[in-house]
Structure 1
Amino acid sequence: MLTLGEFFQDLTNPMLTFLPKALLVAAMSAIICGVIGTHVVLRGMVFVGHSVAHAVFPGLAVAFVLQGSLVLGGMVAGVVTAICVAIVAQNRRLKEDSIIGIFFVASFALGIVIISTAPGYSGSLQSFLFGSITGIPDSDVYVVAIAGLAMLGAAFALHKELVAVSLDREMARSAGLPVLALDVALYVMVAIAVVVSVQVIGNVLVVALLVVPPATARLLTDRLGAMMVLAPAIGASCAFVGLYLSWAIDLPTGGSIVLLSTAVFLLTWVLAPRHGLLGKLRAGSARTGQVGAAHQEPADAKV
């Protein structure tokens, strides 16, 4: 098995320029998904994140057929679909999850039809579904970096408003906040976060980067600011170790990152000081001891 020192040597090897590029894109994707995923977890939008991964597929397919940028193609498709969902979902006759299901499943089907027209589509379809991190072109690295910085800036600029809508939509609307515009903004940010991560772990697994690190951070802190720092850190660490393991023992990169993230989540679920399983058991035992001592004191006083 390749040692960690040898892995760092490979990162600086001029013959393996794709490896540091893959690590850079994986880290950027993890940071972007960690920040945006915090809002996804707080609002219970996991289904939305999963569906957006389907929505970007026709854009990826069109970009592949036209030999264009996959990231730009996916962004256009994801943003258009997200805006359509946010607008149509304002009709409260149908629940939001119904609208999301209709639009995003139709988008995924459209992507499959489009990409099936390309020669050798079976191999390209597999790379879309499960990722192809070592084949990312330089142009996509720049697009990911620019889009990521712009989106993180927008997320921090709208932070208070997004949190207000997440906590109480009706209260936010009565306070004069543009709830529809904020919904559209969040859907668009989720779409972009998904797109920049598709080539890292694939269309099928991309929701893991968006949900698992923020959910792990949620178990470690009660403060939203700390959660938005911890989630990208956890995601980037898992991306680094997952890429190392995939390179060292020849495992799929996307699967390695997702399994490692899940393992970290499960360990945190058990060991987290306050919100983990053991922490809650200790807190319950302490409360039981305090109640027992309180009942014992009057008896001692009588004696």
Structure 2
Amino acid sequence: MEWLIAPFEVAFVQRALWGGLLVSCVCALAGTWVVVRGMAFLGDAMAHGMLPGVAVAALLGGNLIVGAAISCTAMAFGVSVLSRSKRFAADTAIGLLFVGMLAAGVIIVSRSQSFAVDLTGFLFGDVLAVRTVDLWYLVAAVGLALVVAVLGHRAFVALTFDSRKAHTLGLHPKAAHVALVGLVTLAIVASFHVVGTLLVFGLLIAPPAAAVYWSDRIPVVMALAALIGGFSTAAGLVVSWHAGTAAGATIAAVAVGSFFVSAVVSALRERFGKVGVAALAAVSVAGCAATEPVIVEEPPHGYVAGAEEMSEAQTRLVVSDPATGAIRVIDLLTEKVTTLEGRENTAAPAASALVGDGRFGFLSAGGSVRVVDSGGWTVDHADHRHYYSAPVREVGSIAAPGGVVAAYGDPAVSTVVLDSGATLVFDRVALGDGQVREPHRIDGIALPYGEKLVVADGAGRVDVRGRDGAAGEPLASSCPQPRGEAVTRRGVVFGCADGALIVAQRDGAFVAEKVAYPEPGTDRATAFTHRPGSTTLTALAGRTGVWTLDVRKKTWKHTPIADAVAVNTAGEGSAVLVLTRDGVLHGLDPETGSETARVALIGPVEGEPVIQVDPNRAYINDLGGRAVLEVAYNDNLRIARTFPSDIAPGLMVETGL
């Protein structure tokens, strides 16, 4: 073992080891977010972008770390400014500044008499030249990075997976983005002296990328990344000592190698896990008692049988022809259309309403409800999300008097509210398996929230029940004449005769708060619309205006507008979209109610169109024109795409969110 210990008997190698370990820690804290958020190109560009500052500091005899910090800050500011342009994507701005800053650095260094030596040191570092004072700088950098990572963790998580959610939760996404870029800048500046401006990217990216193969929890990924980075430092120094190679480059190479090793081991683990399951099944069928235990690996986190996990939300539109009940499912990513037929003869009942719970569409047809699996859905774990894709199929149907008016789901149940005021509670797991089990019926509007059902009945009583619908905890507040409901991140909302009742869970207990209408005598809200996850709800106020309810601020706003037939909003500052009877789509300022944009979208409205909204686009069904229109609501209501239909798309719901 002398070959392993011998290098670390030398003082400068010991300092190099400590420097590498500290760099591994600060890079793990910042690099995890770089990997999770897909900021690798920005990280690489910033690593190269600090070269001009380092070069100027060296020529002037100043502090290299200060020069690097100034240059990195300028790079980050430049990327931020240029990325606001709508003429090109953000990576174009990053690429331009990347090349420009690197070229400027080389030009500045070329003015030095020791051009080759200086450039080599700047680009590849000299870990063996780390001084004691450098170690103290690194200790301070680790401490500062740890403080930023801990204090900003919640905001960084929300920003990474849903910037709108960050805004909804009051986490200031713009400030969080600045703090995150600052954290990356700190890691790069603190590390370049050890492995240079080119190779710092290896320690920033490779260990966290390797760690994500072993865990999907961000704190665990950070800890594993620090361990992998520390191992890479020690192994790189040993290899460099005996092989006579550049220490910084060897450390970076070992770090990158750890990523590929993790990738291969993960693939083998998954493969042998499947073999183990097959072996266990064979043993069970044969009825043999194995002399050696069969190792069966647990399914990986997020695994869903029969579905494929995707990298983005699989948004789809389920549309139906009211006259025939024929259904089309439009994949908004691929534009593929899947056909599900309707009634075969004119005596069969037509479709009267269509609602969705994020995955399943529920179609009223006479005295029954048809259930359609759209094949796209999202599972939200608060700090991360899983997106799934599966084949489109019709699950089945069940007798149900009354039409459907709303549907909501959680991992266990789907609740379908009927126009009679009752709710059908379906087994959502069984629906995913292609079975429609007999739902249990609740007399009242039942909404899934916090692994419970919050129920408002016709008498105005509100209580919290188990998912089986058994009587539970009554709440003090009442909701007279409940009509209209919504499930948001901040609680469930019931539309009542005297306002909105918001039921939320705080410190393990359910609490209710009434938000009264500000203008007595105005038509009440009877059906809410909103972007899934948003805390801003909209509703028609008869045919003379629209309501906007901010669940977070607990405020109503009434905006007069004549002949409104549909309304929705993405929330969080986005325009309120209102379709009027003449086929004109209006964009209204959510604060003032003034019109900010309008477009003659379709001809005179036929039927009861809807506006479905997701984080990027809005969708309006045109019954008469036999088409669905995609509208870029943040771009002056521009029509982005048109989906022609072979049926009259009078009913529509979006899924996958």
Q: TM-score, normalised by structure 1?
A: 0.86
**Percent identity between the two aligned chains:** 31
- Aligned equivalents of 2:276 and 2:14: distance in 1? 49
- The corresponding residue for 1:14 is none
SS at match of 2:166: helix
Pairwise CA distance, 1:147: 2.7
- The corresponding residue for 1:61 is 55
Deviations 1:37-71 (A, max 9, x none): 11011011111111111111111111111122212
Alignment of 1:19-34 (within 5 A): 19-34=13-28
- Aligned equivalents of 1:211 and 1:92: distance in 2? 29
Q: Residues 293, 172 of structure 1: CA spacing in aligned structure 2 closer, same or farther, 3 A cutoff? A: farther
Q: Given the alignment, which residue of 263, 267, 283 partners 2:273? A: 283
- The corresponding residue for 1:104 is 98
Pairwise CA distance, 1:94: 2.9
**1:56–1:191 contact (8 Å) kept in structure 2:** no
Q: Which amino acid in the other structure matches residue 7 of structure 2?
A: F
Q: Residues 174, 292 of structure 1: CA spacing in aligned structure 2 closer, same or farther, 3 A cutoff? A: farther
Segments of 5+ residues of structure 2 without an aligned counterpart are 287-657
- The corresponding residue for 2:35 is 41
- The corresponding residue for 1:243 is 237
Q: Residues 140, 244 of structure 1: CA spacing in aligned structure 2 closer, same or farther, 3 A cutoff? A: same
Pairwise CA distance, 1:190: 1.1
Alignment of 1:119-130 (within 5 A): 119-130=113-124
Deviations 1:197-226 (A, max 9, x none): 222222222111011100111001122221
Q: Given the alignment, which residue of 174, 177, 180 partners 1:186? A: 180
Q: Which moved more, 1:84-93 or 1:110-119?
A: 84-93
- Aligned equivalents of 2:131 and 2:273: distance in 1? 51
Alignment of 1:177-216 (within 5 A): 177-216=171-210
Alignment of 1:66-85 (within 5 A): 66-85=60-79
- The corresponding residue for 2:156 is 162
Question: Higher helix fraction: Structure 1 or Structure 2?
Answer: 1
2:243 is the alignment partner of 1:253: no
- Aligned equivalents of 1:30 and 1:220: distance in 2? 18
Q: Which moved more, 1:259-268 or 1:21-30?
A: 259-268
- The corresponding residue for 1:10 is 10
Pairwise CA distance, 1:88: 3.6
- Aligned equivalents of 2:262 and 2:218: distance in 1? 17
- Aligned equivalents of 2:188 and 2:117: distance in 1? 21
Q: Which amino acid in the other structure matches residue 110 of structure 2?
A: S
Q: Which amino acid in the other structure matches residue 5 of structure 1?
A: I
Q: Residues 288, 111 of structure 1: CA spacing in aligned structure 2 closer, same or farther, 3 A cutoff? A: same
- Aligned equivalents of 1:281 and 1:19: distance in 2? 41
SS at match of 2:10: helix
**1:69–1:140 contact (8 Å) kept in structure 2:** no
- The corresponding residue for 2:45 is 51
- Aligned equivalents of 2:165 and 2:134: distance in 1? 41
Q: Residues 63, 140 of structure 1: CA spacing in aligned structure 2 closer, same or farther, 3 A cutoff? A: farther
Q: Which amino acid in the other structure matches residue 221 of structure 1?
A: S
- Aligned equivalents of 2:80 and 2:173: distance in 1? 10
Segments of 5+ residues of structure 1 without an aligned counterpart are 12-17, 297-303
Deviations 1:75-131 (A, max 9, x none): 121123213323442444432111211222211111112111121111110111111
Pairwise CA distance, 1:152: 2.2
**2:199–2:252 contact (8 Å) kept in structure 1:** yes
2:227 is the alignment partner of 1:233: yes
**1:242–1:253 contact (8 Å) kept in structure 2:** yes
- Aligned equivalents of 1:144 and 1:23: distance in 2? 12
Q: Which amino acid in the other structure matches residue 273 of structure 2?
A: A
- Cα RMSD of the aligned pairs, angstroms, is 2.5
Q: Which amino acid in the other structure matches residue 26 of structure 1?
A: G
- The corresponding residue for 1:301 is none
**2:7–2:13 contact (8 Å) kept in structure 1:** no
Q: Residues 191, 161 of structure 1: CA spacing in aligned structure 2 closer, same or farther, 3 A cutoff? A: same
**2:159–2:173 contact (8 Å) kept in structure 1:** yes
Pairwise CA distance, 1:231: 0.5
Pairwise CA distance, 1:285: 3.1
SS at match of 1:220: coil
Q: Which moved more, 1:87-96 or 1:26-35?
A: 87-96
Q: Which moved more, 1:189-198 or 1:154-163?
A: 189-198
Q: Which amino acid in the other structure matches residue 236 of structure 1?
A: G
Q: TM-score, normalised by structure 2?
A: 0.41
